[in-house]
Amino acid sequence: MASRRRYHSAIAITTNLPITTSLKPPHMQITVLYFARLKESLKYSTEELQLPEGVDTVAALMQHLASRGDAWQTMFSGQQAIRAAINHALVGTEAVIKAGDEVAFFPPVTGG
């Protein structure tokens, strides 16, 4: 059986074949804030960051940031104690990051 074609806006559409698309979801964008010694060492206070595929937890984000090398590796590879918050709530490294989140990193603080 011959396929039937319709032409619309110079695009041929074959009517007897399924149309499939494989669109990847856009990368997730978040805001990252750095405080205290992180801000001083990294020379950043805030940045908008497009997360690569697979970076969806605080631990994965820390590993991603450590891969920048130098001071980033020192701060985020586990050599320094760092706390994290997502949208102003303290979280552990297993916390899931979603598009639009604000993730803050800071050293542990003590009070008296």
pLDDT recorded at residue 64: 97
Give the strand pairing for 83-86 and 46-51.
unpaired
Q: DSSP 3-state assignment of 105?
A: strand
- Of residues 59, 61, 62, the one with CA closest to residue 50: 61
Beta carbons of 32 and 47 less than 8 angstroms apart = yes
H helices within the chain, ranges in order?
37-42, 58-66, 70-76
pLDDT of residue 16: 53
| Residue 51 three-state SS | strand
What pLDDT was estimated at residue 69? 94
Whole-angstrom distance, CA of residue 40 vs CA of residue 14: 60
Whole-number pLDDT of residue 109 = 80
Residue 108, pLDDT > 60, answer: yes
Q: How do residues 11-55 score in pLDDT, each as one tens digit?
A: 555 555 555 454 555 579 999 999 999 999 999 999 999 999 999
* pTM confidence score: 0.75
pLDDT at position 22 is 47
Determine the CATH number of domain 28-106.
3.10.20.30
Query: When comparing pLDDT for 29 and 10, which is higher?
Result: 29
Domain boundaries, the chain: 28-106
The pLDDT of residue 51: 95
- Of residues 28 and 3, the one with the higher pLDDT is 28
Q: Is the dihedral of CA 95, 42, 65, 101 positive or negative?
A: positive
